[in-house]
Amino acid sequence: MNELAFTILKIATATSSRFIGIDLTPLDSPRVGNDLNTSASEEITAEALHAYAKIEQELAIARRTLISETVEIEEYFGNSLKGDIGAKVGATDIGLGASAEGGKVTKRIIRFSGFNAHTESMLNAIEASMLLKLKTELSTSIESKAPVTSNIAPD
């Protein structure tokens, strides 16, 4: 894994490592003399990035849930099993075959709609504040460009 990706991982996990529940301090140590081979360190890095991405995803969902008017969540959990058994009989040979496949099925659908009243008032206040600031900056800019006139008559 190149140094850029390693640096990005360190930055991304520096503040979130306490949420992951793993100690990432070995990532700060120098890489010289590292007894892990490259593929193992890449696997650890990929796992840490995956855990960080899951945390960020859940935080984004939580933030959106806080400001939404309504939230609908549908979750599906289950196991999937498939199996096949086959036999083939010919004039000169006999064949048997069996296969099995299993998996975990997880599906989550989250629907957000609107903003709650508190969020709308906050957004309106922010918008009003930004407009006031813009008006102030524009008027200051216009005043600084206007020629200075004096009502005092020259002697």
pLDDT tens digit sequence for 50-93: 889 989 998 998 888 888 888 898 888 877 777 777 777 777 77
Evaluate whether residue 155 is within a structural domain: no
Which pairing describes strands 70-89 and 94-113: parallel, antiparallel, or unpaired?
Answer: antiparallel
The reply to whether 51 and 94 lie within a common domain is no
Residue 124 structural domain: 116-145
33 & 63 share domain: yes
Are residue 76 and residue 52 in the same domain, yes or no?
A: no
Strands, E assignment, the chain? 70-89, 94-113
Give 155's strand partners: none
Both 22 and 51 in a single domain?
yes
Q: Structure tokens of 72?
A: 């609908």
The structural domain count of the chain equals: 3
pLDDT (tens digit per residue) in 98-133: 777 777 778 888 898 888 888 888 888 899 999 999
80 forms beta bridges with: 103
pTM: 0.43
Indicate whether 154 belongs to any domain: no
Instruction: Check whether residue 81 and residue 54 sit in a common domain.
Output: no
Q: Are residues 60 and 78 in the same domain?
A: no
User: Is residue 77, in this structure, part of any structural domain at all?
Assistant: yes
